[in-house]
Amino acid sequence: MATYRHWNVRRDESRIAWITLDVADSPMNKLSADVMSELDTLLDDLDRYPPAGAVFQSGKDAGFIAGADIEEFKRLDSPEKARSLVERGWNLFNRVAGLSYPTCALIRGHCLGGGLELSLACRYRVAVDEPGTRLALPEVMLGIVPGWGGMLRLPQAVGAVAALDMMLTGKAVNARKAHSLGLVDESVPARVMQNAARSLVLSGKPPRQLPFVQRMLNGPLKAVVARQARSQVARRAPQKYYPAPWAIIDMWANYGGNALAVSGKRPTSLDAIAASPTTRNLVRVFFLQERLKGFGKDADFEPRHVHVIGAGTMGGDIASWCASRGMTVTLQDQAIERIAPAIRRAAEVFDRKFRGDKLKTRMALERIVPDTDGRGARQADVVIEAIFENLEAKQKLLSGLERIVKPDAVLATNTSSLKLEDIGSALKNPLRLVGIHFFNPVARMPLVEVVSASDTDRSMVRRAAAFVKAIDKLPLPVASAPGFLVNAVLGPYMLEAIRCADEGIAVEVIDRALVDFGMPMGPIELVDLVGLDVAMAAGKALTGAGAAPRRLTDLVAAGHLGKKTGRGFYAWIGGKAQKTKAGTVPDGLTERIVRPLLDATRRCVNQGVVADADLADAGVIFGTGFAPFTGGPMNYLAARGGVAAVDSGDELVVLPKAA
């Protein structure tokens, strides 16, 4: 057999060709143009002496195939390039699907995007049942479509409803779920995987057929399913900002999953996707995320034990998150009664997370050790203080801790408004203190700010970032400045929204305007969630002595602090804000409220709160959910040549440059 750079083919005694992908010079398998064209050549070679069957497998420990090479998506700036990229995979995988001999994908670890499309082109699929095995078509998250056969073959394998759900959300399934959906023929333990693939590929079994009703839904009744899918997508991805999900539905429903068949004039064509800035921006967001994941990589630090002081809202949730990530956690507070509620909350979270698996829940709970004496601080690799926001109390606690913690342990505060320098001034070595600033709710917020002053020990900052990474959060290095990055940009934005409410604009209208803009939640609802007292304190800290909006002051005075008291700007029942139907959004409202956020982001960049504009965008997107299709506030400003503009309805409103 010929030799290849990325592929390896071995024929065994039963004439099965074992085709192993092991992409050269890369820790994971990606389907670059080079890798794909080599597969084409390899298939030519096999055609000369067709094997009895072929099994595709991975030579990497990291997983099966991570998908296309996303670097190549950066260059998708013309309809021709988009078409030729799609054509490459569509034709090649059609060729795989039409091979005269049976084929099987042996899937272990991640199997994403083009990797799953290659697997779907095989006659059979075997998945290894272990935690790392994840199958998904995440293209939509990058603003593109699964054009290499995914839109054709996934619905044939799992039915239209399940397939659209996977393609429109990008969510992954594990081996067992894939088996129950019919996405793989077998889900097996690793030790028998090759035998399973061998038997299946030689079995002569006809490919699995969908049941009758499912065949109807993926055939004559497509229009019904498509209508329902569109109405679901309309709620979270307006077509003018997010063309890809709409294109997926149209391509599946009307073009047999063939992206190339859609006329360039349609809003659901590849041409429209290539022309929309969304794809470029979402690819940008992907790489920003990769950049955040890179922080702390060079720290050579493997934290195992975290000591958390303060078992309140934040400390309790930080403890349970760390335990869910496999860390041992000692949780300290003044009395066991203060720790008990945090443990109860953790038990509920684990029960949901492990879907009632009592053993796993118990093991995770056992990793949280109540520690009223604070003994855990002596052994911990990371010590996080999350007591109430009071400078003297934090100084006293941390200076005591400094005497007993391991010399190389990370000593951190979760403060959101105090200066690191002020807290550190009570320490013998203030340079070792870092901020590890989590957001509320801890389990839902992907970002954690790693705060340092100008002379903070860099190795401690790296270790803190490594810890954040180890618990599967995204670390963002920020300077010790009021509000750091995220609160500094959210504060003025929420304040402006409350001012609008003061002027008599209905809160529902304000929230509607910003949700339409692409925010995950309106600013008024966010204030209710954060707590009006917290917002008022933050407002004072961030915007100085200016008078607080009247409605905010009145509500706080009346004890209406938001969701936590059942009433704020909204009444809250059963954890939900009670909203009336929003009226029309007045012209200019969206841009008026977004503007302070854009300005504050730019200020943070200018003041060096974050190292550069890209990191500001990453922080604001992952810390606030700022409309990802914009690529972040700085990108949004830059795209307009330094002038802020926001889309209100069909008109582009250009705002004057900020002073």
User: For residues 143 and 276, is the Cβ–Cβ distance under 8 A?
Assistant: yes
Q: Cα separation of 594 and 599, whole Å? A: 9
SS3 state at 620: helix
User: For residues 114 and 70, is the Cβ–Cβ distance under 8 A?
Assistant: no
Place of tokens 């709710």: 441
Handedness of CA 40, 45, 49, 51 (dihedral sign): negative
Whichever of 38 and 533 has its CB closer to ligand NAI, that residue is 533
Instruction: Find the shortest distance in angstroms from Cβ 656 to ligand NAI.
Output: 35
Whichever of 130 and 421 has its CB closer to ligand NAI, that residue is 421
Instruction: Find the shortest distance in angstroms from Cβ 437 to ligand NAI.
Output: 6
Active site annotation includes 348? no
Distances (CA, A) of 193 to 21, 198, 289, 612: 17, 9, 33, 47
Instruction: Find the shortest distance in angstroms from Cβ 622 to ligand NAI.
Output: 15
Question: How many other CB atoms are there within 10 angstroms of residue 25's CB atom?
Answer: 6
Instruction: Find the shortest distance in angstroms from Cβ 61 to ligand NAI.
Output: 37
Active site annotation includes 231? no
Complete edge-to-edge strand list for the sheet that includes strand 16-21:
7-11, 16-21, 53-58, 103-107, 124-128, 186-188
Angle between helices 589-606 and 613-624 (to 10 degrees): 130
Q: Which of 487, 525, 560, 635 is catalytic?
A: 487
Q: Cα separation of 417 and 451, whole Å? A: 12
Q: Which of 119, 414, 416, 452 is catalytic?
A: 416
Instruction: Find the shortest distance in angstroms from Cβ 441 to ligand NAI.
Output: 8
Active site annotation includes 385? no
Instruction: Find the shortest distance in angstroms from Cβ 331 to ligand NAI.
Output: 10
Whichever of 324 and 416 has its CB closer to ligand NAI, that residue is 416
Cβ partners under 8 Å of residue 280, min gap 6: 74, 76, 77, 143, 631
Whichever of 51 and 491 has its CB closer to ligand NAI, that residue is 491
Q: Judge if the upstream peptide bond of residue 656 is cis by omega within 30 degrees of 0.
A: no
- The stretches of 188-332 forming alpha helices (DSSP H) are 193-202, 212-217, 222-236, 243-255, 270-275, 277-294, 313-324
Whichever of 7 and 438 has its CB closer to ligand NAI, that residue is 438
Tokens at 13, concatenated:
């005694």
Apex 454 CA angle, 292 and 471, nearest 5: 30
Q: Which of 187, 437, 480, 648 is catalytic?
A: 437
Instruction: Find the shortest distance in angstroms from Cβ 558 to ligand NAI.
Output: 21
Whichever of 277 and 312 has its CB closer to ligand NAI, that residue is 312
Instruction: Find the shortest distance in angstroms from Cβ 579 to ligand NAI.
Output: 23
Q: Which of 117, 385, 402, 449 is catalytic?
A: 449
Instruction: Find the shortest distance in angstroms from Cβ 335 to ligand NAI.
Output: 8
Pairing status of strand 572-573 against strand 576-577: antiparallel
296: left (phi over 0), alpha (psi -120 to 50) or beta: left
Cβ partners under 8 Å of residue 276, min gap 6: 143, 243
Whichever of 273 and 556 has its CB closer to ligand NAI, that residue is 556
**Residues within the interface to ligand NAI (CB under 6 A):** 309-315, 332-334, 338, 386-389, 393, 397, 414-416, 438, 440
Instruction: Find the shortest distance in angstroms from Cβ 488 to ligand NAI.
Output: 14
Place of tokens 């949901």: 352
Whichever of 337 and 612 has its CB closer to ligand NAI, that residue is 337
Active site annotation includes 437? yes
Whichever of 285 and 490 has its CB closer to ligand NAI, that residue is 490
CB-based closest residue to ligand NAI: 312
Whichever of 414 and 456 has its CB closer to ligand NAI, that residue is 414
Q: Cα separation of 643 and 465, whole Å? A: 34
Beta strands in 68-227 (DSSP E): 103-107, 110-112, 124-128, 134-136, 186-188
Pairing status of strand 305-309 against strand 382-385: parallel
Cβ partners under 8 Å of residue 228, min gap 6: none
**Catalytic amino acids?**
416, 437, 449, 487
